[in-house]
Chain A
Amino acid sequence: DIQMTQSPSSLSASVGDRVTITCQASQDITNSLSWYQQKPGKAPKLLIFDASNLETGVPSRFNGRGSGTDFTFTISSLQPEDIATYYCQQYDNLPLTFGGGTKVEIK
């Protein structure tokens, strides 16, 4: 199985701050990576697919980049509604696997 190591596991930032989350795959997954947002008590929501493509309707302050084994997810200007846990997921090989998640809080 491909292991996805996501960091940090949690972070606290101020409104307007730039927030960056990293995800490392245990082997080359090319660009087969997606990012999800999960708010408390809700189902996950797709934000980015193919490492850097923004899902329709997702605000442009969300950004993804990377390829191979190293990926980053950025919120350019943190908003109060962005409080959530974020997960990366690889789909290069079955079984699909998720990172451990990053809980984002407001300072």
Chain B
Amino acid sequence: EVQLVQSGAEVKKPGESLKISCKGSGHSFTTSWIAWVRQKPGKGLEWMGVIFPGDSDTRYSPSFKGQVTMSADKSINTAFLQWSGLKVSDTAMYFCAIINSGYPEAWIDPWGQGTLVTVSS
């Protein structure tokens, strides 16, 4: 069974750094894209970007470029999303998900369970 397991909920202060993780199993981690999707409380889904763990090719949504960094360590089947200076407006649920295709322009399935990030002073 293809599965993504994300790291646990985080509570941080504005300006702090954070790195959350997404560990894959049951599929070839190096031949699928991993997408990151943000969902603010009570709001819709926002596509942040994708990374191809095989060669770390990364494509960011213009809305998130420069705001976050995506990375991956294929030796441990894990993708990461990190911030260097969190803002209160980063408070959201963050999902990772698989794009089971050789190219990033495809449907997204399956999804991780989500990581809730709360930023508050």
Residues of A within 8 A of B (CB): 1, 32, 34, 36, 38, 43-46, 49-50, 55, 87, 89, 91-101
Main secondary structure of the interface of B (DSSP, over half): loop
B106 at the A interface (CB under 8 A): yes
Whether the pair A46, B107 counts as a contact (CB closer than 8 A) is yes
Q: Which residues of B contact A92 (CB under 8 A)?
A: 105
**Bound: A38/B39 CA distance, A:** 11
B19 within 8 A of A: no
Hey, which bits of chain B sit against chain A, CB under 8 A?
Answer: 35, 37, 44-47, 49, 59, 61-63, 95, 97, 104-114
Chain A residues touching B, majority SS: loop
- Listed by A's residue number, 17 A-B pairs whose Cβ atoms lie within 8 Å are A36-B45, A38-B45, A43-B113, A44-B111, A45-B109, A45-B111, A50-B107, A93-B105, A94-B59, A94-B105, A95-B59, A96-B35, A96-B105, A97-B47, A98-B47, A99-B44, A101-B45
Q: From residue A49, how far is it (CB to closest CB) to chain B in Å?
A: 4
Nearest chain B CB to A21 CB, angstrom units = 14
Partner among B44, B63, B97 whose Cβ is within 8 Å of the Cβ of A98: B44
Among A38, A49, A98, which residue has its beta carbon within 8 angstroms of that of B46?
A: A98
